[in-house]
């Protein structure tokens, strides 16, 4: 069974999507459509912008979404997923590629998500840190015992868990985790504490937009970040998508569940190959491939 994976923030790079634009007329049309929906030339920033330009949340999220969805569309009849999943932002790409959302609605939601998250980060000084070489239970315990807001945010692979919260609380937890035996704790260069209670104002803003958007049944089950379970019911998908902003990304659990449910081939669609790297740390036995357009 084939599973398609869609990356989240951090997969962007200068020149992203230019190969698709140059090769496919339909891709050109979709890039132009995206520019019109957003009201600015995203394609110009993607093709010609610097790393710094692409690092702004309001640019990063739409850029990764547009790149991923267009790549899936350009696969044509070869895109026949039995399962779909996306890491954080990538869940919107997975839902759009899987026809639960239209391209227009998906992009509008992603822009609103990016703006809401940006606004939330300005209200609280917050950050994230990657914890390497510790078991999940120890990280969870240290976060629970640390004063202030700090929570597990991204279960990326065994021995790699990202924590998120108020800056001081994250720093305190980082010290305790080093003492508990972490191989490394790396402070991340991010705009704020994603997938933590700090994002509550953004969750409220996004909930309104999601509740006003039409969702359809996807062409294949989408393994959602919040539950790590397959969903096809539009109302349940909507509910999980709203919860996602303040809940952890259960990526390790999602991939393990997909394999348990019969996935034997994994394909990463969109910029970068971060998810294939995580997949190999979760399970080296399954087939994995990056979708490329040579």
Residues 84 and 227 in one domain: yes
Residue 181 within any structural domain of the chain: yes
Choose, from 43, 68, 87, 88, the residue flagged as catalytic: 88
Residues 220 and 96 in one domain: yes
* pLDDT at 209 (0 to 100): 95
Query: What Cα–Cα distance (Å) separates residue 243 from each residue in 86, 186, 196, 210, 273?
Result: 15, 26, 10, 11, 26
* pLDDT at 56 (0 to 100): 86
Number of structural domains the chain divides into: 2
* pLDDT at 189 (0 to 100): 82
Residues 10 and 55 in one domain: yes
Residues 285 and 205 in one domain: yes
| Residues 3, 178: Cα–Cα separation, whole Å | 36
Active site residue 67: no
* pLDDT at 294 (0 to 100): 62
Q: Kindly report the backbone phi and psi dihedral angles of residue 225, in degrees, each rounded to the nearest multiple of 5, phi listed first.
A: -55, -40
| pLDDT tens, residue order, the chain (294 aa) | 999 999 999 899 999 999 999 999 999 999 999 999 999 999 999 999 999 999 888 899 999 999 999 999 999 999 999 999 999 999 999 999 999 999 999 999 999 999 999 999 999 999 999 999 999 999 999 999 999 999 999 999 999 999 999 999 999 999 999 999 999 999 998 878 999 999 999 999 999 999 999 999 999 999 999 999 999 999 999 999 999 999 999 999 999 999 999 999 999 999 999 999 999 999 999 999 998 876
| Residues 13, 5: Cα–Cα separation, whole Å | 18
Residue 192 within any structural domain of the chain: no
Task: Give the structural domain span for 105.
Answer: 2-121+197-290
Choose, from 126, 195, 196, 254, the residue flagged as catalytic: 195
Indicate which CATH number applies to the domain containing 155. Answer: 3.30.70.250
Active site residue 88: yes
Residues 101 and 155 in one domain: no
Residues 227 and 244 in one domain: yes
Q: Is 199 within 8 Å of 190 (Cβ atoms)? A: no
Residues 218 and 285 in one domain: yes
Q: Which of 144, 164, 187 is the last residue of a domain?
A: 187
Please report how many Cα atoms fall inside a 13 Å half-sphere around the Cα of residue 131, on the Cβ side: 34
Residues 42 and 179 in one domain: no
Residue 9 structure tokens: 């923030």
Residue 113 within any structural domain of the chain: yes
Residues 151 and 40 in one domain: no
Residue 281 within any structural domain of the chain: yes
Residues 21 and 93 in one domain: yes
Sheet holding 265-268, edge to edge: 230-231, 222-223, 83-86, 2-6, 265-268, 287-290
Residues 236 and 283 in one domain: yes
Indicate which CATH number applies to the domain containing 19. Answer: 3.40.366.10
* pLDDT at 291 (0 to 100): 86
Residues 101 and 213 in one domain: yes
């Amino acid at each position: 069974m084939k599973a398609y994976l869609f990356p989240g923030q951090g997969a962007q790079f200068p020149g992203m999507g230019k190969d698709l634009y140059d090769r496919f007329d339909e891709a050109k049309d979709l890039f132009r459509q995206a520019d019109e929906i957003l009201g600015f030339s995203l394609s110009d920033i993607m093709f010609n912008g610097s790393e710094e330009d692409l690092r702004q949340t309001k640019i990063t999220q739409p850029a990764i979404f547009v790149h991923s969805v267009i790549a899936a569309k350009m696969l044509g009849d070869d895109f026949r997923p039995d399962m779909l999943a996306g890491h954080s932002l990538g869940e919107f790409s997975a839902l759009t590629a899987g026809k639960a959302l239209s391209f227009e609605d998906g992009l509008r939601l992603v822009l609103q998500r990016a703006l809401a998250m940006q606004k939330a980060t300005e209200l609280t000084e917050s950050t994230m840190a990657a914890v390497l070489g510790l078991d999940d239970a120890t990280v969870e315990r240290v976060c629970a015992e640390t004063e202030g807001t700090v929570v597990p945010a991204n279960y990326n692979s065994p021995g790699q868990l990202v924590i998120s919260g108020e800056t001081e609380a994250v720093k305190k937890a980082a010290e305790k985790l080093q003492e508990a035996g972490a191989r490394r704790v790396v402070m991340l260069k991010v705009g704020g504490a994603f997938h933590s209670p700090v994002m509550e104002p953004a969750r409220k803003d996004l909930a309104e937009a999601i509740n006003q958007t039409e969702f359809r049944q996807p062409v294949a089950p989408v393994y959602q970040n919040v539950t790590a379970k397959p969903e096809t019911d539009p109302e349940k998908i909507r509910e999980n998508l709203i919860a996602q902003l303040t809940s952890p990304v259960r990526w390790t659990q999602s991939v393990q569940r997909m394999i348990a449910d019969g996935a034997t081939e994994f394909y990463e669609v969109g910029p970068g190959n971060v998810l294939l790297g995580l997949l190999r740390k979760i399970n080296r036995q399954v087939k994995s491939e990056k979708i490329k357009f040579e």
